[in-house]
Amino acid sequence: MAFSPSMKSKLMRFGGANLSRFIGLVERTSSHHFDPPDMQARFETEEPVICACWHGQFMMLACSRPRHLKFAAMVARHGDAELIGEAMRRLNVTLIRGAGAGDRRKDRGGAYALKASMTALKNGYNIVMTADVPPGPARKAGEGIITLARLSGRPIMPLAAATSRYHAFKTWSRLTLNLPFSKLAFAMGETIRVPRNATPEELEALRQKLEDELNDTTARAYKLAGTDATAATPPGARAADLPPLPLGLGLKVYRGATRVFQAAAPLVLGHRERQGKEAPERRAERYGRSDIARPEGQLVWFHAASVGETNAILPVIEGMKAKRPHLSFLLTTGTRTSARLARERLGETAIHQFVPLDTPTFAKRFIAHWRPDAAAFTESEIWPNLIVETSAAGIPLLLINARISKRSYHRWRKRPGLAAPLFNRFDLVLSQNQRFARWFNELGARSVTVAGNLKIDAPPLPVDMRAYEQLAQSVSGRRGYIAASTHPGEEELIADAHRRIAKRFEGFLTVIAPRHPERGPAIAEMLKAKGLRVAQRSLNELPEVSTDIYIADTIGEMGTLYALCPIAFIGGSLVDKGGQNPIEAIRHGAAVLSGPSGTNFRDVYDALLAKDAVKVVRTADELAHEICELLADDAQLEKLRAKGTQAVDDMAGALEQTIEHLLSVLPPSGSLQKELDRAS
């Protein structure tokens, strides 16, 4: 049932009034303890100050203040904050409405709040505000509070309150309801002063110092209250030196179910072998067994899903090998195509194995045999049993080039018993962007760093020169383009666009490479029903002079196809699928077109759009028009290709960061330690 604005306002006032009464009840029925003992007196020597606390941990802080001093609290403008605001008003705390936006673009009144806070400080008010900004990440101090301290010249005072009895809600910040008849503890941290002329580096150091002080102050408050802070701590904010969260019910159920599945593994693998998706002679690897002995010395294990992820990982392996020649590498993948790529590109640099099926027994057997010194999963490769067994063996565990779709994020969020203990086991997550970093932190990852997208630094997808020359000869003299990674609903639009383009350019050829090659026959039937002449690569057919559309329904040939076509439309974007990766096409010099849906690669598309390096189309007519414009003007085509290349080059840099982070988790080996000792 929807409430009218006036009814909502009344409910908020009612709720706020009762919350203030409840806070008073907790204060009256609890014994008070302060750390340091003269905490309240320190307010008077420093005031006015900026009181900092963590979001979700603020309920009892109003009770710690000296009553004769003036206090103002920064409260956001969204609906939930109305209740908090009403409670603060009834506790005689002045309100400043507005807050920072975090990594969101929506204005939440931050500029107004900053100006109002400056005025309040000048008028002798102490400002109370949370250091972390909704929607997170939790317990990561934002820049806003540092900016306020720099501009106002007033110190930041880290504060925390805790009770021996409490209930923590499963919100992003673990909003904590303190309960009456408790031991009520207040803690104050070291005062932080921010010079007005501080450099960016100094400001970042002070931001980190505030973060550390608040974590320490909060821990002291809970210790003084004599209670465990685990329930009130967001999983992603759990200290790195603490063991990961225990397995929740969801994870236990998954492990039990995969133990049952293990009995059916031979049947599943046999079926996949008959489909050509598995290598029968290497089935043992899927059970965690190997005939290859573990190399001596340090071994780093990488796991990549398929060709795209493998292509991004190869430069990481090569870069680490160049810096530490003594290292050995193990690469696991799940597809035959990626296995072939690893064999061709890595040679003797790394051992390739098929990743074991994700059961506790197979995972434990695999870890026991290879005993890696560090393990790095890529992108969104989350295999619970492999992660649990790797962590249990004490092996540093990283998720690199990490990304997660919005849909997957929400699925994980609905299963905290599965997600939090799982993501909590990663020692480090190297995220592609800030949004993914926040999501991983909310799911339970404790240490998350934005490192960028490895696929930007990856070399172009490999080209099979024999296949390329064969294709080039069969299409000699014809104009055309490739529609890559297409999804259902897009091929019909591409067919309509083809008819329009072919009217202007005789002999025009459209190449369709569906995201899921097994859809090739169905696409062919649909196109034939439209009166178009079709050839299929999966049938070993080559485009003839009369072929209108060539369906490249094979795996592992995208590099060859991109090299062949000067223009690429990237699929999954004319339908609501979030788009696909445009970088691989650009690295092969293709001019890129895309539909409006690109949320899966938002950062990449934003960078391309900022430099006019991609053409966005919404209909078959627009697709046909843009391709015709590019084909009719070689200078325009070359300009778009050059802009794409420059935009991608400007986004590079993730490779070196990833290599440095991976090397940092490896202890020096015996031989390397001797070299370091000699050097020192």
Query: Can you give the C-alpha Rg of the chain in angstroms?
Result: 29
Please provide the DSSP assignment of 455-483 as one string.
HHHSPPPP--HHHHHHHHHHTTT--EEEE
Quick one: three-class SS letters along 196-245? CCCCHHHHHHHHHHHHHHHHHHHHHHHHHHCCCCHHHCCHHHCCCCCCCC
* Sequence-distant contacts of 96-100: CB under 8 A, at least 24 apart: 96/72, 96/120, 96/127, 98/74, 99/74, 99/75, 99/133, 99/134, 100/133, 100/142, 100/143, 100/144
pTM for the model stands at 0.80
* Identity at 363, one-letter amino acid code: A
The two tokens of residue 338 are: 């990626």
CA-CA distance, 271 to 474, in Å (whole number)?
Answer: 36
CA-CA distance, 623 to 218, in Å (whole number)?
Answer: 57
Residue 630: in which H helix or E strand, if any?
A: helix 620-632
CA-CA distance, 274 to 667, in Å (whole number)?
Answer: 44
* Sequence-distant contacts of 348-355: CB under 8 A, at least 24 apart: 349/317, 349/318, 349/321, 350/302, 350/317, 351/292, 351/295, 353/285, 353/290, 353/292, 354/278, 354/279, 354/282, 354/285, 354/286, 355/286, 355/303, 355/383, 355/386
Provide the percentage of residues in the chain whose pLDDT is more than 70. Answer: 94
Asked whether the beta carbons of 191 and 48 are under 8 A apart, the reply is: no
Tokens 């003594």 belong to which residue? 326
677 CB neighbour count, 10 Å cutoff: 9
Helix axes 360-370, 384-392, angle to 10 degrees: 40
**Residue 121 burial by Cβ neighbours in a 10 Å radius (0-12, 13-18, 19+):** buried
Asked whether the beta carbons of 229 and 222 are under 8 A apart, the reply is: yes
Q: Vertex 38, ends 35 and 41: CA angle to 5°?
A: 130
Burial 362-384 (b: 16+ CB within 10 A, else e): bbbbbbeebebbbbbbbbbbbbb
| C-alpha 182, offset from chain centre | 40
Asked whether the beta carbons of 393 and 422 are under 8 A apart, the reply is: no
CA-CA distance, 63 to 28, in Å (whole number)?
Answer: 10
Quick one: three-class SS letters along 299-339? EEEEECCCHHHHHHHHHHHHHHHHHCCCCEEEEEECCHHHH
Tokens 């070299």 belong to which residue? 675
CA-CA distance, 549 to 536, in Å (whole number)?
Answer: 9
pLDDT digits (tens, 9 = 90+) for 586-626: 999 999 999 999 888 888 999 999 999 999 999 999 999 99
Report pLDDT for 380. 87
User: What pairs with residue 333 in β-bridges?
Assistant: 354
| Blockwise average pLDDT, block size 10, the chain, 680 residues | 63 83 93 92 87 90 82 73 76 73 54 88 91 86 93 95 94 92 96 95 96 96 95 90 89 94 94 91 96 95 89 92 95 89 83 95 97 95 95 96 91 90 96 92 92 89 93 92 96 96 95 95 96 96 95 92 95 93 93 93 91 96 96 95 94 93 82 44
Domains belonging to the chain, first-starting first, are: 7-233 (no CATH), 249-452 (3.40.50.11720), 465-652 (3.40.50.2000)
Taking Cα atoms as reference points, which of 309, 318, 339 lies closest to residue 402? 309
Strands 166-168 and 156-163: unpaired
Taking Cα atoms as reference points, which of 493, 638, 460 lies closest to residue 573? 493
Quick one: three-class SS letters along 552-569? CCCCCCHHHHHHHCCEEE
For 193, 455, 499, 601, the CA distances from 452, given in Å and listed in that order, are: 32, 9, 40, 12
Report pLDDT for 534. 97
Catalytic residue selected from 82, 309, 584, 626: 309
For 41, 218, 420, the CA distances from 190, given in Å and listed in that order, are: 14, 12, 32
pLDDT digits (tens, 9 = 90+) for 118-160: 999 999 999 999 999 887 789 999 999 999 999 999 999 999 9
What are the phi and psi torsion angles at 512 (to 5°)? Answer: -110, 120
Residue 309 designated active-site: yes
pLDDT digits (tens, 9 = 90+) for 447-487: 999 999 998 888 888 899 999 999 999 998 899 999 999 99
**Where are the alpha helices (H) located in 505-619, listed in sequence order?**
520-529, 558-564, 583-587, 602-610
CA-CA distance, 598 to 596, in Å (whole number)?
Answer: 6
The two tokens of residue 78 are: 């969204």
CA-CA distance, 53 to 73, in Å (whole number)?
Answer: 11
Count CA atoms within 13 Å of residue 524 on its CB side: 17
Report pLDDT for 102. 52
Residue 283: in which H helix or E strand, if any?
A: helix 283-286
**Where are the alpha helices (H) located in 304-443, listed in sequence order?**
307-323, 336-346, 360-370, 384-392, 406-413, 416-423, 434-443
Report pLDDT for 19. 87
CA-CA distance, 251 to 230, in Å (whole number)?
Answer: 19
Asked whether the beta carbons of 553 and 526 are under 8 A apart, the reply is: no
Report pLDDT for 493. 96
Taking Cα atoms as reference points, which of 244, 260, 271 lies closest to residue 358? 260
The two tokens of residue 517 are: 């090659």
Strands 176-178 and 166-168: antiparallel
Report pLDDT for 643. 96
